[in-house]
Amino acid sequence: MATRKRRGMLIKNTNPRPVVIEMKTRTLRIGPGEERLVTAEEVRDPDLREKLQVRAVSIVRPSLPEEEEALLQELAAARQEKAGDDIGTEPDTRS
């Protein structure tokens, strides 16, 4: 049996209020009617799965390979930027 390659998803907030999804990789704040891409790894996140189960968000479709690649690059750049921001942020304890 061939193993399937996991894919990300395009999800949509189907509620009249904003939805917050606190995943291990990042936190998504999705306004009413907004759509967001999630990676294949994030698809398995317990908080996202719970939001899908209670229909706080819905799956629109699987992500296209080029969409997923662009999202992964965007997330990697954000992680690098955050790591750069953390350098030299030690509190000044001189008095």
pLDDT tens, residue by residue, 70-92: 999 999 998 888 887 766 555 55
The verdict on residue 70 lying in a domain is yes
Amino acid 84: pLDDT: 77
Name the domain count of the chain.
1
Integer Cα distance of 8 and 86 in angstroms: 29
| Residue of 75, 76, 71, 22 lying closest to 49 (CA atoms) | 22
Q: Is 92 within the bounds of a domain? A: no
pLDDT of 88 reads: 57
Q: Is 77 exposed, middle or buried (0-12, 13-18, 19+ CB in 10 A)?
A: exposed
pLDDT at 4: 74
Answer whether residue 65 is part of any domain: yes
Does residue 79 lie in a domain region?
A: yes
- Specify the pTM: 0.76
Q: Is residue 23 part of a domain?
A: yes
Domain region containing 18: 9-85
- Residues of the chain with confidence (pLDDT) below 70: 1-2, 86-95
- Residue 75 inside a domain? The answer is yes
95 within domain boundaries:
no
Q: What are the start-end ranges of the E strands in 8-86?
A: 9-13, 19-22, 27-30, 35-38, 57-62
User: Is residue 4 included in any domain, yes or no?
Assistant: no
